[in-house]
Structures are given as C-alpha cells and as structure tokens.
C-alpha cells in the first residue's frame, strides 16, 4: 500500500492519524501483543445473535463510539470484554509459538505477563485508548477459546482495524473463528457505527484469508516482504469491508 498515516495533535497533545490514511498494525516490537490470528471454518447459517447488556434493557441504548460492558452471542460463541482474570490465559496463548505463528508478524516475539497487565490497565482506564479487546467464549462450555480486538485511529467513525485469534488449537477449522468475526463486525458496524473495517494477515495464511472472505472481507492490497521471521521476509495482505457491504450481506 502506498498510503502512509499523517498525524495531527489532539487536545491532549497526542499524535493522531488522519482517518483517510491507514497503517498496518504495529510490528513485533509492540509489547502489548497486538495480534491477528487464525479464523477458519464456516459461519453457521441463520445464527441468531442476542445482545445482553448490563443495566440496559434494549440495544437501542447503545450510542457509538463506545460500547458498554456487554456480551454478544452467536450460535456457538459469545464475545465479552477482557477482564484481568483473563490475562494469564492470554499470556499462555501469546507465548504459544504455534498460535502466534499466524497471529503476529513474528512468531519469535514473546509477550510478558507484565506487558499484558500494562496494556490492560491502559485500555481499562484511558478514555483515549485506541484499542478494545474481547474474549471469545464457547457457549456450550463457557470456556474461553480465543480473543479479538478493535483498534481505531480517528474520531469520525471512518475506519476500524480488527484482529482475531483462537488460542485453543484443537478448535481451529471448526467455524468458531468465522462466527466470532461476524460478532466482532456486528459490534464495529451496528453498535459502534464505523464505516469501514480492515485487517492485515500474512499472505501465506490461506486458511485465515478464506475465512475472512467468507465473512465479507475483500483483498485490496499486498505489502511485500514487510514481515521478517524464521530467517526470511514475508508478504502481508490487506483486507477490508464497508458497512454498506455488511448491511447487504445481512439483508440477503
């Protein structure tokens, strides 16, 4: 991609990126362990989703861009906000080489529990945070099986960057990731009101790319040899989806 982010300064003195220019996710030096991961299998057709709000009776009370603490459910999985008690499990997943081989641009990069705790506290208390994290739970067992994130770089509801990973490897290829992505897009488009969603994944991660395509994403570009691990350079694919395309899929 030829576009690179331009910066502007917020009222709090921070650098903000222009909503018309988007950058790929931070590289392996990012200590917070921002991730993109495998999302395979097919979505269950006609899955009915239920929004359960704490202290709210209807979804109409939600106003973008912030979503209250909630659970959003599909046929087989639910999403909920990450809690501090989840951090040891996230730490285990973030240091599983097989999981992070697809979830990051460097499987050699490990994440400390202290770094996860720092990122969690920032996300929890900083109103200007650009990241919201969710745990993926299997509905039948209430077991946490993965995590996903939404990152935003503007305040005009233009674009959100999404990422997803299943930490429990025995569940890969069974449709959990695809349904979790559909729920994440419901949050992004229907509850937060973003116009555009994008993600980045390794070009060789064909399983994830096919899954993302099933959930409405289109390949729009490739950055060549921008990731380095295992002694070689790797291409990264940009995929995106518009809210109008999401709405059309829901109506079909």
As a whole-number percent, the residues of the chain with pLDDT over 90 amount to 51
Listed in order, strand segments (DSSP E) in the chain are: 7-9, 15-17, 50-53, 70-73, 77-81, 131-138, 143-152, 159-166, 196-202, 218-229, 232-242
Entry pTM: 0.71
pLDDT given for residue 109 in this prediction: 64
pLDDT given for residue 148 in this prediction: 95
Of residues 167 and 111, more confidently modeled: 167
- Does the pLDDT of residue 177 top 50, yes or no? yes
Q: Which of 98-112, 145-159, 236-250 has the highest mean pLDDT?
A: 236-250
Tell me the longest C-alpha to C-alpha distance in the chain.
54
The rounded distance, in Å, linking the Cα atoms of 118 and 135 is: 17
For the beta carbon of residue 37, count every other beta carbon within 10 angstroms. Answer: 24
pLDDT tens digits, residue range 10-20? 444 444 444 44
For the beta carbon of residue 45, count every other beta carbon within 10 angstroms. Answer: 6
pLDDT tens digits, residue range 216-240? 999 999 999 998 888 899 999 999 9
Nearest to 200 by CA among 235, 247, 249, 157: 235
- Does the pLDDT of residue 39 top 70, yes or no? no
What's the chain's Rg over C-alpha atoms? 17
**Averaged pLDDT of the chain:** 76
Domains plus CATH for the chain?
25-195 (3.40.630.30)
């Amino acid at each position: 991609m030829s576009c690179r982010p331009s910066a502007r300064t917020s009222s709090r003195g921070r650098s903000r990126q222009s909503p018309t220019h988007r950058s790929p996710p931070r590289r392996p030096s990012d200590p917070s362990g921002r991730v993109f991961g495998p999302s395979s299998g097919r979505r269950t057709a006609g899955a009915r989703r239920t929004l359960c709000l704490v202290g709210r009776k209807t979804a109409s009370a939600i106003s973008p861009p912030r979503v209250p603490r909630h659970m959003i459910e599909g046929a087989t999985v639910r999403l909920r906000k990450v809690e501090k008690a989840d951090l040891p499990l996230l730490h285990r997943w973030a240091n599983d080489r097989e999981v992070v081989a697809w979830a990051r641009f460097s499987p050699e990069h490990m994440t400390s529990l202290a770094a996860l705790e720092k990122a969690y506290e920032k996300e929890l208390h900083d109103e200007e945070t650009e990241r919201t994290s969710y745990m993926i739970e299997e509905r039948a067992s209430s077991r946490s099986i993965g995590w996903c994130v939404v990152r935003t770089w503007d305040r005009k509801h233009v674009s959100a960057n999404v990422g997803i990973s299943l930490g429990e490897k025995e569940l890969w290829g069974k449709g959990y990731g695809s349904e979790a992505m559909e729920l994440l897009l419901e949050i992004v488009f229907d509850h937060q009101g973003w116009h555009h969603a994008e993600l980045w994944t390794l070009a060789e991660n064909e399983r994830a790319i096919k899954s993302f395509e099933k959930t409405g994403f289109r390949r729009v570009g490739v950055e060549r040899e921008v990731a380095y691990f295992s002694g070689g350079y790797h291409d990264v694919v940009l995929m995106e989806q518009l809210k109008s395309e999401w709405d059309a899929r829901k109506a079909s």
